[in-house]
Structures are given as C-alpha cells and as structure tokens.
Amino acid sequence: MKLLASVMEQVIKRNPNEPEFHQAVREVLESLEPVAEKHPEWMAAGIFDRIVEPERQIIFRVPWVDDSGKVQVNRGFRFQFNSAIGPYKGGIRLHPSVYSGIIKFLGFEQILKNSLTGLPMGGAKGGSDFDPKGKSDNEVMRFCQSFMFELARHIGPDTDVPAGDIGTGGREIGYMFGMYKKLRNEFTGVLTGKGLTWGGSLARTEATGYGLCYFMDEAMQTIKGKSFKGATVVISGSGNVAIYAAEKVFQLGGKVVALSDSNGYIYDPDGIKLPTIQQIKEVERKRISEYIKYHPKATYTEGCSGIWSIKCDIALPSATQNEIDEASAKKLVANGCFAVGEGANMPSTPEAIEVFLKAGVVFGPAKAANAGGVATSGLEMCQNSMRYSWTFEEVDAKLKDIMINIFKNSSAAAKAYGFGNNLVAGANIAGFEKVASAMFAQGITY
Ligand code: NDP
Ligand code: 2IT
C-alpha cells in the first residue's frame, strides 16, 4: 500500500485491539490503491480518511431480568457508519463474541455491500454480547425489549433500519418491532426481516442463501463454464444463510453433503435431508449432532474446521468470520474445489483468499456474494413505503437480477483496474466508487 498507507496506520492507531476491523479495512484499501491514483480529488477531499471512521457509534447498557429473577447486564451497540447513499442499514448480531471490533468490521463491510445492491441504503451494524442460546423465549423477549428501549431513539424508517444477523432471526425481530411500535406509537418499516403478517417481505428469509447461489452460478458459468448441476457442495453453519443456500443448491441440481454448527459438523454422503435440519435447528433449536439419530448412515464430528477436509467441488462458508484459514483453503484446493462463495461475512482469512486466488478458484467475496439478504431487506423497505406486497416470484426475480448485476459490476470493475477475475478487488472498487462520489458531491459534512 502506498497512497493509502497513512489511512491504514490511522485506523490501527485509533482502533487498537480490533483485529477484525483492521483486517476488513486493509483488504479494501489494498484494492483501492489504483482508485486513489485515478481520483486525486477524492484524496484531497479526505474520502478515504472519512469512510473508515463511523459517522456515529452508540454503545449502551442493556439490563434485563432472567427467569430466576436475577438482573443481567449486556452491552448493546449500534454503529452508524455511512449515510452517503441512503439511511443507515444493517443487521443486529447477538453472540457472546460481539465487541466493538466485530461491529466495526461488519458495519464497514456493510457500506460497500449495500452500495453494490444498487439500492439506496447506507451502512450500519449493531448487536450485543447477549447469547440467545439456552435462554427461554421470555428471557429473549425481555432482552430484546430492553435493547430496543434504548435503540428506538436512534433509529427510524428514514434514519436507520436494522435487521437480523447471527442470533437475530424472526423471533427476535418480532420482539424488537413490538417494543419500537409501542414506544413510538407508529407502524413503520423500521426493521426488516419482519413476519409475513406484519409487513415482512416474501423471500426475505430465503434471500441471503438463494442470492449466494444466484451469484455463484453466474460467476461459475461466466468464468469457468461450470454450474451447481451435479456438483458436491459443502456448506458451513446451519442457520438462516446455510439452510436456504442448501435448499437452492438442491434446486439447482447440486448435492450438499455437509453442514455444521459451532460444536461440529455432519457428513451425509447421500445428501443432507433439509427437513431434518430445519426441525432440529429452526423448530427445536438443538445441536446439529442430533441429525445422526434420524439418519444413522451420516456421521458427526466434533470441531468445526474439519468440514473443509471433506472432498467437494464447491464450498459455501456460511457460519462466521475467519472460519477458513490457510491450511483449510489448501485442503479444499488439493481436493479439487473449484469455487468458493462466502455466505458469511469475512469467513476466509486473507491468507486463505490468497490461496484461492492463486489456484484460480472462482471466489465470491462476502460483500458481493451474500448481498442478497440486505438487497431483499431493501425490497422490504420499498414494499413498506408503498404499503403493498409483491409475490414470492416477483421478489425472487428481483433478487436474482440484483445478484447477477452485482457479479457483472464487480467483474467489470476488476477488469477496468487490471485485476482480471479478482472479484475481491472488483467488489471493493464497484461498491466504493458509488459511495465515494456521493460523499464527494455532498461536501465535507460536519
Ligand atoms: P444464524 O444465527 O441463523 O446461524 C449462524 C450459524 O453459524 C449457526 O449454525 C451457528 O452455530 C454458526 N456459528 C455462529 N457463530 C459461530 C462460531 N463462532 N463458530 C462456528 N459456528 C458459528 O446466522 P445467519 O445464518 O444469519 O448468519 C451466518 C453468517 O452470514 C454471518 O456471518 C452473518 O453475518 C452472515 N450474513 C447473514 C445475513 C442474513 O440475512 N441473515 C446476510 C448476509 C450475511 P450455532 O447454532 O452453534 O450457534
Ligand atoms: O450482513 C448482512 O448483510 C445482514 N446481516 C443483513 C442486513 C440487512 O439489513 O438485511
């Protein structure tokens, strides 16, 4: 890095002990060197210095009472990163590992991802170190209500529109929406991922996983003349993204042979039976190890990283950040894996990405490949504003169009700047250029 080295230095200095944030910013700045060279006016206007600093960071106490009557205290976050192209938009992560470095990396990625969708959405992320696992519905409800009691004063349908992420699904969005509505006495599209009877969009539940497959299908066909048809696919995670990615892989003629959760992974060479997974994970909220009770020919292995040693054609990491390291990437390539699509945010380490790019693997980077979720959130906002709803087929068709366009725009940007088929660089550049030109046009806002 040359022109942008001082931006990176400042990020490290100003955000100490936040390695995930440094990692996300470094990858983007490395791609943007030629953009900085081409646009001295953006350099002069401090666009690069400004885009790495959140516009606003809100950190708050979330007290709630557990079922035994004990007071619990969690920490809540909402980082409103960039509003150059639309209201702040991004999910809420509920997981014990959440701290400001995680929210910053996710919020920063969200700026460029939302830009790539072509819809008018700025970037934000929120969350808490609350762990919904093992909590009763009433405990989750009390936490969500307390979280929203504070968050409500910072968000709004034209200000900031949160949604789901790890640990935040339909149940949590429902409790948060109920509290927001009561506090404001307003029924608005302030959250996305809502239930279908109260303003949610058809196909939002499926959108991230489906979109990932639409993106990868287009990328594989264009770059390698290949597709999901007849392919063996490994997917990590067994949450919202993983389950609907798996459903679409089967629809497109592929076979998913492995899925995981934070304890371990299952391998079913005949193909994973998705209804069993949905019963275990979505209905019973149990561990994926239960699967082998129903399908004794399948195996369960403790630990997560071993899933990448299963021979496959296509890998779709859809659990969490940094789940594929260099060693796992090398195993995938050695076993003949020809495409990797990131369903999760930043699931591959920088070393792993390098292995994939060097080996000529078709690599779909998170901010492009998993943008279908937030894109469909954008479509939910659109339907809420119109007080209307589209059919499943209408939303799904728009989602597919958006994903194909994201591929085309990322691919074109990579080629225009001499990055060949490197979609990491292409997505970073295509996402950035739109936000940068909007920031430039709006002046140095105080
Ligand atoms: P869910 O909470 O529905 O599922 C998360 C899955 O990943 C679970 O199977 C979970 O296992 C596993 N997991 C979570 N944390 C870890 C960990 N530290 N180590 C190993 N496994 C883990 O979340 P989503 O499916 O919504 O999100 C998955 C990824 O996709 C995240 O990176 C998220 O940011 C990203 N994403 C989500 C979008 C959405 O619309 N939901 C949109 C775009 C990206 P367990 O059950 O044991 O916790
Ligand atoms: O990472 C993501 O893009 C999401 N968790 C979805 C965000 C959204 O606003 O739908």
Q: E-assigned strands of 328-412?
A: 339-341, 362-364
Per residue in 342-356, pLDDT (tens digit) is 999 999 999 999 999
- Interatomic CA distance for residues 131 and 100, integer angstroms: 16
Per residue in 83-106, pLDDT (tens digit) is 999 999 999 999 999 999 999 999
Q: Domain for residue 221, yes or no? A: yes
182 plus 212 within the same structural domain: no
Q: 237 CB less than 6 Å from ligand 1? A: yes
Of 353, 369, 385, at which residue does a domain stop? Answer: 369
Q: Length of the chain in residues, anyone?
A: 446
Q: Which residues pair with 79 in a beta bridge?
A: 57, 125
Predicted confidence at residue 445, as pLDDT, reads: 77
What is the helix (H) or strand (E) element at residue 293, kind and residue range? Answer: helix 291-294
Of 323, 349, 369, at which residue does a domain stop? Answer: 369
Q: Known catalytic residue: 13? A: no
- Spatial neighbors of 387 by CB under 8 A, at least 6 apart, are none
* pLDDT at residue 157 is higher than 90: yes
- Interatomic CA distance for residues 218 and 208, integer angstroms: 15
Predicted confidence at residue 209, as pLDDT, reads: 98
Per residue in 384-413, pLDDT (tens digit) is 999 999 999 999 999 999 999 999 999 999
183 plus 211 within the same structural domain: no
Q: What is the mean pLDDT of residues 260-270?
A: 98
257 plus 305 within the same structural domain: yes
Predicted confidence at residue 340, as pLDDT, reads: 99
DSSP track, 145-186: HHHHHHHGGG-BTTTEEEE-BTTB-HHHHHHHHHHHHHHHT-
* pLDDT at residue 278 is higher than 90: yes
Here the contacts of 41-44 (C-beta below 8 Å, separation 24 or greater) are: 41/440, 42/436, 42/440, 43/3
Phi and psi dihedrals of 173, rounded to 5? -60, -40
125 plus 170 within the same structural domain: yes
3-class SS shares of the chain: helix, strand, coil, % to 5: 50, 15, 35
User: Which CATH number does the domain housing residue 311 bear?
Assistant: 3.40.50.720
Q: Are 315 and 202 in contact (CB under 8 A)?
A: no
Of 103, 119, 165, best ligand 2 pocket probe by most atoms within 8 Å of the beta carbon: 165
* pLDDT at residue 240 is higher than 90: yes
- Interatomic CA distance for residues 355 and 358, integer angstroms: 5
Tell me the residue type at 119. Answer: L
What ligand has the least distance to the C-alpha of 90? Answer: 2
* pLDDT at residue 78 is higher than 90: yes
Q: Would the pTM count as exceeding 0.95? A: yes
Q: Domain for residue 393, yes or no? A: no
| Ligand 1, atom 19, residue with closest C-alpha | 262
What ligand has the least distance to the C-alpha of 168? Answer: 1
User: Which CATH number does the domain housing residue 67 bear?
Assistant: 3.40.50.10860
Q: Domain for residue 104, yes or no? A: yes
| Ligand 2, atom 4, residue with closest C-alpha | 91
* Residue whose C-alpha is closest to residue 288's, from 236, 232, 248: 236
Q: Are 192 and 379 in contact (CB under 8 A)?
A: no
Q: Domain for residue 237, yes or no? A: yes
Q: Based on the structure, what is the number of domains in the chain?
A: 2
| Ligand 1, atom 41, residue with closest C-alpha | 165
Q: 107 CB less than 6 Å from ligand 2? A: no
Of 134, 159, 187, at which residue does a domain stop? Answer: 187
174 plus 304 within the same structural domain: no
Predicted confidence at residue 276, as pLDDT, reads: 98
Phi and psi dihedrals of 315, rounded to 5? -120, 135
What atom in ligand 2 is closest to the CA of residue 374?
10
Expressed as residue numbers, the domain containing 340 is 207-369
127 plus 72 within the same structural domain: yes
Q: Are 251 and 289 in contact (CB under 8 A)?
A: no
361 plus 218 within the same structural domain: yes
Residue 446: band (very low, low, confident or very high) from pLDDT cuts 50, 70, 90: confident
- Distance (Å) from CA 163 to ligand 2 centroid: 6
Q: Domain for residue 331, yes or no? A: yes
238 plus 293 within the same structural domain: yes
Q: Are 130 and 94 in contact (CB under 8 A)?
A: yes
* pLDDT at residue 245 is higher than 90: yes
User: What does the buried/exposed string (b/e) look like for 6-34 if buried means 16 or more CB atoms within 10 Å of the residue's CB?
Assistant: ebbeebeeebeebebbbbbbbbbbebbbe
Average pLDDT, the chain: 98
Predicted confidence at residue 124, as pLDDT, reads: 99
Q: Domain for residue 18, yes or no? A: no
Q: What is the mean pLDDT of residues 421-430?
A: 98
> Strand, coil or helix: what is 253?
coil
213 plus 361 within the same structural domain: yes
Per residue in 101-152, pLDDT (tens digit) is 999 999 999 999 999 999 999 999 999 999 999 999 999 999 999 999 999 9
Q: Domain for residue 347, yes or no? A: yes
239 plus 170 within the same structural domain: no
- Interatomic CA distance for residues 229 and 221, integer angstroms: 11
Per residue in 309-360, pLDDT (tens digit) is 999 999 999 999 999 999 999 999 999 999 999 999 999 999 999 999 999 9
314 plus 260 within the same structural domain: yes
Q: Domain for residue 138, yes or no? A: yes
Predicted confidence at residue 76, as pLDDT, reads: 99
Q: 422 CB less than 6 Å from ligand 1? A: no
231 plus 103 within the same structural domain: no
Predicted confidence at residue 28, as pLDDT, reads: 98
Predicted confidence at residue 421, as pLDDT, reads: 97
Annotated active-site residue in 89, 113, 125, 367: 125
